[in-house]
Structures are given as structure tokens and as C-alpha cells.
Amino acid sequence: MHVSLTTPALLFPAISLLLLAYTNRFFSLAALIRSLSNNGKPVHSEQLKNLRQRIIIIKRMQESGVMSFALCVVCMIFIYIGLNKIGSVIFGCSLLLLLYSLLLSVKEIRISVDALNHHLKEMDQ
């Protein structure tokens, strides 16, 4: 497969928007944690476990997204200097990291939805 200089460049806006979405998720989660700590009400250990798990997943999502972005840049450098084969391999690694980041995003969404459903059950009682 031949990868031109424009191929990895197509991922730049997508990865940038993805990282922005991940950052917004992190800030929302941080605000939730701060509000829970300021609330003064006791927090269930399961809820704390859930929040910790989500923080770890979001951190990994951001790390893999940034690494994907960085590998896109490295790929473009290799293609620019004429090392297309190495650039193609690096681009493939970048795509795998992006896929990993997206899969983590799905996992974090599922955890979040499960927590919301649990909260709704408590409210219903």
C-alpha cells in the first residue's frame, strides 16, 4: 500500500476533535468528583471505584490519542524524506493506537451508562 503525505494529514482534524472530546469528558468527570467531595454526603465505595476506573480509562484514551497524533507527524516526516515504507508502517501503528483509543472510549461510555442506570434505580426506590 502506498501512503502519500496527505493520507496521515487527513487524520489531523479527526484526532484533534477526538482529543478535545476526551478532554471535555475528563473535565466533566473532574467536576463531578469535586462536587461529590464538596457535597458532604457519603459516597458509596462502588461509586468511587467506578469514578477511579473511568479516570484511568480516560487517561489511557488521551495517551493513546496523543501517541496516534504524534505517530501521524512522524509518519509524515518519513514520507517527506522519501522513506515511504517506514512511513506506512508508522501510519499503521498510528491507526492501531487510534482504534485502541476509540475502543477505550466505548468502554468508558458503557461504565458511565451503567453508573447512571444504577443511580436511576436508587432514585426509583
- Residue-wise pLDDT tens digits, 55-92: 999 999 999 999 999 999 999 999 999 999 999 999 99
pLDDT tens profile 37-55: 777 777 677 788 888 899 9
Q: Which domain holds residue 50?
A: 5-124
Instruction: Round to whole Å and give the CA distance between 31 and 25.
Output: 10
Going from the C-alpha of 112 to that of each of 27, 33, 41, the distances in angstroms are 14, 13, 21
Output the average pLDDT for the chain: 86
Distance CA(29)–CA(118), nearest Å, equals: 17
Number of domains in the chain: 1
Residue 1 has pLDDT above 70, yes or no: no
